[in-house]
Structure formats: structure tokens, C-alpha cells
Amino acid sequence: MSAHVIPTDQQLRLFIERIERLEEEKKGLADDIRDVYAEAKSQGYEAKIMRQIVRLRRMNVQDRKEMDAMLDLYRAALGIS
């Protein structure tokens, strides 16, 4: 059984401040990503499709192959080319 450590007020404040800084960085990164999509869109690229490609590239190869196979199966069942 692990003992629970009760943080001091200073420790707690430091954790909260770190989280707040990271949240601000995350917001900044999200803004930067949105700007890149907007720039790509201004040059004729489809942001929606780019988001899909980014999502697919994050997947491992086997998961992506399984998803593609299931999509093909469902399309065939519904008569979608």
C-alpha cells in the first residue's frame, strides 16, 4: 500500500503553475497548427483532407490496413464505390 504524500502549499502552487504554462503552450501550438492549415488552404489544399492524412500517418501500419479493409468491406456492403 503506497502512502499518500500531502503536498505543501508551495508544491501545489508549483504544480498548478506548471500546468498553466503547459496549457498556454498547448494553446499556442494549436494556434500555430491552425495557421499552417489556413496557409495551406490559401494555396489550394483541402484542410479537411490534410487533417485526415495527419491522422492516418499517426496510425501504425497494421491498424491502418485493418481500417482500410473494414472501410472497403462496409463500402461494398453499401454499394459505395
Q: What is the pLDDT of residues 3-37, one digit of tens each?
A: 676 768 999 999 999 999 999 999 999 999 999 99
35 SS3 class: helix
State the pLDDT at residue 46: 98
User: Do 13 and 27 touch, CB atoms closer than 8 A?
Assistant: no
State the pLDDT at residue 37: 98
User: Do 47 and 41 touch, CB atoms closer than 8 A?
Assistant: yes
State the pLDDT at residue 39: 98
pLDDT bracket for residue 45 (50, 70, 90): very high
State the pLDDT at residue 81: 81
pLDDT tens, residue by residue, 57-68 = 999 999 999 999
